[in-house]
Amino acid sequence: MASVPQIDLDNLTTSPTADEALEEWYKRNPPVADSEANPWDVSRAELYSKDLWRKPFAEMRATAPINKVEGGVHGDFWNITTYKPIQHVEALPDIYSSDVSHGGITIAEPDFDDSDFQLPMFIAMDRPKHTGQRRTVAPAFTPTEMKRMEDEIRQRTGEVLDSLPWGEKFDWVDKVSIELTTGMLAILFGFPWEDRRLLTYWSDWAGDVELSCAEDLTEQRRHILYEMGAYFTKLWNERVDAEPTPDLISMMIHSEHMRDMDPMEFMGNLVLLIVGGNDTTRNTMSGVAYGLGQFPEEREKLQQNPDLIPNAVQEIIRWQTPLAHMRRTALEDHDLFGNQIKKGDKVVLWYISANRDEEVFPEADKIIVDRDNARRHLAFGYGIHRCVGARLAEMQIRILLEEMHKRRMQVNPTGKHRRVHACFVHGFRELEVELSKY
């Protein structure tokens, strides 16, 4: 970790939040006016913060499901908007690369200014390296491990729900989505409980595509991410010579695949797990409250028949799609259903649109808690990079719905909310709700 500067772990940065920094940045750098923008440049963050993304995607799916945008906010790229071609691209990882050296996994270009700063993560690696590193963390997500964590997650979820005020307005994102997600990650990593909100703070700074492109915030972002690195280095050092414990950090340290992983890779993969497990689960939990509030008849169906909960979990993940896209880069020329993709082209897989593909999901804009193919959603991706934490996320959302049902808790959004301003993470910054009994 020679490249990490001296960090004072007793005085870690906790403000501004990534959101606040970005808001200020947008005041200095206003986005392109709607009237001047290419309507199919769906990388514009305001389409998501203003909830205007459905129309352009529906048009593309109907008329040109695979199309090329030139001169978009993040340069030239191919939009892939329907179900089948996304699966097809993901099934060809030797042609469509995830590797950071070719461009990585988001529509924004990676920051190549300082190669020391690039943390290697297996989500942004191709085979064969990806395979070995994924194997290091996969054992933490087996059904046996999930069973082991279930009681603790259930207890924690119950405590959070029991602390909520009834008949009073409060922010569901802050009190439930963030609280439960950081709690789950703290359990998974054996992360100090009192510091768990740092996980949200860091994840927001690390995972925001728009922030990673805001040049004058680069230094600030780096500093915060170095602090995160230093914190995890300390945790690692504390555990490296200790007896193995069941948390993920210790599991990775003692894994046989660790022998092939250098410290930067170890750190990169930890960060990947934090970011990967953070915004995603958080925004699905917000989707639980907001989405069911949009479809009260479906909510009632679920309240009357809790056996539908596991299916509803899949349906809410489909409907919310907390990561709107993943990106690939073509390593060779390729004919993709009649479209000539050229070597080096950026190919953006819009899960948010594929999960609205009416040929696969009729009445796709609606939550239907007993939809018979809800499980087919692409929100976790597909193929060799399919989300390694999917089981954990599903379990958490299922437990949340089960514990809400036990308490006959109905969550009523008041209509006041603020969405994330981003084309990658899709969700809510704030969501005001009031609870009632059913």
**Which residues of the chain form contacts with ligand HEM (CB under 6 A)?**
90, 122-123, 134, 272-273, 276-277, 280-281, 284, 317, 322-323, 326, 379-383, 385-389, 392-393
Residue type, 423: C
Distance, in Å, from the CA atom of 204 to the CA atom of 225, rounded to the nearest integer, reads: 10
Side-by-side strand order, sheet with 325-330: 66-72, 75-80, 346-350, 325-330, 96-97
Structure tokens at 223: 């500093």
Closer to ligand HEM by CB, 392 or 435: give it. 392
CB of 211 to ligand HEM, least distance (A): 19
Closest separation between CB of residue 280 and ligand HEM, Å?
Answer: 3
Longest CA pairwise span in the chain (Å): 61
Nearer to ligand HEM, 326 or 435 (CB): 326
Query: CB-wise, 7 or 140, nearer to ligand HEM?
Result: 140
- Give whichever of 200 and 435 is closer to ligand HEM, judged by the CB atom: 200
Q: Which residue has the tokens 């390296």?
A: 129
Give the DSSP per-residue string, 216-246. GGHHHHHHHHHHHHHHHHHHHHHHHTSPP-S
Residue 310 beta carbon to ligand HEM: minimum distance, rounded to whole angstroms: 14
Assess contact for 51 and 57: CB atoms under 8 A. no
d(CA 58, CA 54): 6
Nearer of residues 40 and 351 to ligand HEM, judged by Cβ: 351
Could you tell me the smallest distance in angstroms from the CB atom of residue 7 to ligand HEM? 24
Cβ nearer to ligand HEM, comparing 22 with 149: 149
Q: Which of 323, 317, 329 is nearest to 124 (CA)?
A: 329
